[in-house]
Amino acid sequence: MAFAVQLAKGIFDLVRDDLALVEQEIAAQNSAAIEPVCEISSYLREGGGKRLRPALLLLAAGASGYRGESAIRLGAVVEMIHSATLIHDDVIDGANTRRGRPSANARWGNHMSVLAGDWLYMQSFEMALRERNFAVLDILIDLTQNMVEGELLQLTHLGRMDLNEAEATELAYRKTACLFSGCARLGAVLGKQSKEIEDGLADYGRNAGLAFQLVDDLLDFTASPEKLGKPVLSDLKEGKVTLPLIFALQAQAHAAVSDSNGQSHANSEGRRLVEKVLEERDFRTVRAEQIARLVRETGALDRATKLAKEYVRRSKASLEVLPDTEYRRALLAVPDFILEREN
């Protein structure tokens, strides 16, 4: 954890002043809203968060040779889009907590929360329009469509035990990694960089985002509720089968096929436990520790961790198109921070 804190300090120190300006911009937008929206959006902002997405945009812009008002404005835009998705996610999932506090929907109800999320989306695009830059709008429209499609796909995937790695990865891209990728690409656009550098930064963000989502999935099985800011194994209770669990079920299925010593019944037990949780949408018949043990003992945690490290490696490799600057070095540290985080 000390290593992650040290990394975070080095990363955020470089853009700390600009991140403070991003916060001011978000606060100004909130204060201009009508009272219900102002109250909800201010509550979300006060709840904290890593501000990783605007930091990523600011670092990518700096690595591309740009610092200025547009980066501040777009940093606020991507954070507001992120906040909108969190509100909508919590409503869809019926979540009661977010970052260790009651979620917006738990405090203000679903109707008010959905409308506040809609306002954040619309306001972020109104801000982006001030750039008068079609490339910026194309990126924001594309990533927002991907995120909405990701939510729709996730709803169709709920309760599915036959979900495979490719489907889970596509979902992770749409729900999480596309925003990381868009933030990095926006930095290159602001710096008027070549297509090669723009694509390199977009690939960097994509792989960093996939690592981020995979670490999220792992923390759902390994972190404490206090550090996670929400109940552990909440994904499975909501009907979501994530990669660590997919890997665990695959390992058990493989063992059942290859074992000729009467162990196939034991190997099918894990599948039965998961089916029961998905059926009940709760840990009534099955204890959360039984699922956590299944993922741990099948080697699924190790396999998922290894994949997260591979995404980190790919993310760093994508930065080879950039010259060596303090901003590039900070970008290189971001994936390590993602890998080491505990919440």
H runs (alpha helix) in the chain? 2-31, 35-46, 52-63, 69-93, 104-108, 110-129, 134-157, 165-172, 178-190, 195-222, 225-228, 234-237, 243-258, 264-280, 288-297, 300-317, 326-340
- The owner of tokens 């329009």 is 129
pLDDT at 7: 63
Tokens linked to 23: 């916060």
Residues forming a β-bridge with 101: 98
Residue 203 is part of which domain span?
A: 2-340
Q: How many domains does the structure of the chain reveal?
A: 1
CA dihedral 268, 261, 300, 173 (to 10 degrees): -60
pLDDT along the chain (343 residues), means of 10: 60 92 94 88 85 97 97 98 94 89 95 95 96 97 96 94 96 97 98 98 98 95 75 89 96 70 61 95 94 95 97 98 96 95 77
Query: For the domain that residue 173 is a member of, what is the CATH number?
Result: 1.10.600.10
Alpha carbons within 13 angstroms on the beta-carbon side of residue 148 total: 11
Residue 269, helix vs strand vs coil = helix
Pairing of the two strands 101-102 and 97-98: antiparallel
pLDDT at 3: 57
Query: How many Å separate Cα 85 from the centre of its chain?
Result: 10
pLDDT at 257: 57
In 3D space, the residue among 212, 335, 232, 214 whose CA is nearest the CA of residue 289 turns out to be 232
pLDDT at 12: 86
Tokens linked to 44: 């979300």
pLDDT at 231: 72
Contact status, residue 146 vs residue 173, Cβ threshold 8 Å = yes
- Phi, psi angles (nearest 5°) of residue 298: -85, -5
CA dihedral 25, 26, 29, 35 (to 10 degrees): -150
